[in-house]
Structure 1
Amino acid sequence: MIEYSNILYCSDFSEEAEMAFHHAVDFCQRYGAKLHLLHVLHSGYKYMRHIVDEYVEEDKGEETVDEEIMSKAETDLKARYGDRLEECNQAVFEVRVGVPFVEIVRYAREHNVDFIVMGASGSSELDKQTFGSTVENVARRAHCHVMAIRNPELAFKLPG
């Protein structure tokens, strides 16, 4: 029998992430699992640091993200989802800074997550073009199952 005890829901506040939330809560209820809600603030600088280190003097300020932004993101995460978690056994909110797929995989490993639920496509087309699909990268690198929730209205239309 399949058992899930730690479910990670990843939100970028997109429409598909909202749809994924309902599935994450359903799985949380079904298995009596702890639900982890994660939002990653993208930091292209952090991702590219290894490339620019040899050419640009390190700027300590680049490594520090404004605490107000982190706090606002966590407040938004709790405001959006907090009052809809009564069916969940336990919920944890976290905001991180970095490359989304890296931070999602890192969080999943650190917290022994056994199931990740996320929207099939995110809110930023530019990020997808620059860094690739977050969900694709998570699915390839995660140690656990990954479920990508697609909005049926955005489904590929077959020609003909």
Structure 2
Amino acid sequence: MYQDILVPTDGSDGTRRSITHGLTIAERFDATIHALSIVPEGPLGTLQTDEAIPAAERAVERVESEANREGVDVVTAVERGVPHEEILAYADHHGVDMIVMGTQGRTGLDRVLVGSVTERIVRMADVPVVTVRLNDEIRIEDPDEAARIARKTAEGEGYEDVTVTDDPHRTSASWIVPLETDSGDVHVHVDAVTSEARVAQGSETT
């Protein structure tokens, strides 16, 4: 029934549950997940900072990492433009059968933007749109706390000489903490809601 499922992601907390739902549906129907992040642009160019493109790349890489872990085929893309227009164009061009989206972002402007984009997609899309509301409360807001959990997790799995090599960054309600250990570079993914953590190889994220 469904072969290609599109999950737009901006790296905000509101996309975390939509990613989980999208992966569950894809696994059930043996479908491919398309992770798409849009860098908003207007008449004067990019509407965000110079960090917008790296953040968008990290957002889709997070989906790719989770899809690979679940054994789900995945395609990633980063586009620039008006978000709802780019999402609809991507869906049409790639023959997407379903779109799965969060209904809100983190706070303030993110919440307004993500909510308004989803509303437009629901009204204008030619394929089914599954909307997912953010219900989980983010418990780990402090990057230092995420780093502490990451170090403890790595040490608990037998790594030694563990040091944090860069600032932790958060995408889709998970912290990604880069570490240097006696066995080489690794990343630890810390769930900002549940505090659960797992060690991934350093090449899995950037």
The two structures have a TM-score, normalised by structure 2, of 0.56
Q: Which residue of the partner structure matches residue 119 of structure 2?
A: 136
2:84 to 101, 112, 134: 101
Q: Which amino acid aligns with 2:66?
A: R
Deviations 1:107-138 (A, max 9, x none): 10111101000101134643676897110000
Structure 1: which 5+ residue stretches go unaligned? 47-61, 155-160
Q: What is the alpha-carbon distance in structure 1 between the residues aligned to residue 8 and residue 123 of structure 2? A: 16
Higher helix share: 1
Q: Does 1:151 align with 2:134?
A: yes
What number of residue pairs does the alignment pair up?
A: 135
Q: Which residue of the partner structure matches residue 104 of structure 2?
A: 121
Q: Does 1:84 align with 2:82?
A: no
- Mean CA deviation greater in 17-26 or 144-153: 144-153
Q: Percent identity?
A: 31
Q: Which residue of the partner structure matches residue 57 of structure 1?
A: none
2:10 and 2:37 in contact (8 A); partners too: yes
Q: Which has the higher contact order (CA 8 A, sep 6+)?
A: 1
1:42 to 40, 43, 48: 40
Q: Which amino acid aligns with 1:133?
A: S
Deviations 1:50-87 (A, max 9, x none): xxxxxxxxxxxx48xx99864x2454134422221133
1:10 and 1:37 in contact (8 A); partners too: yes
Higher strand share: 2
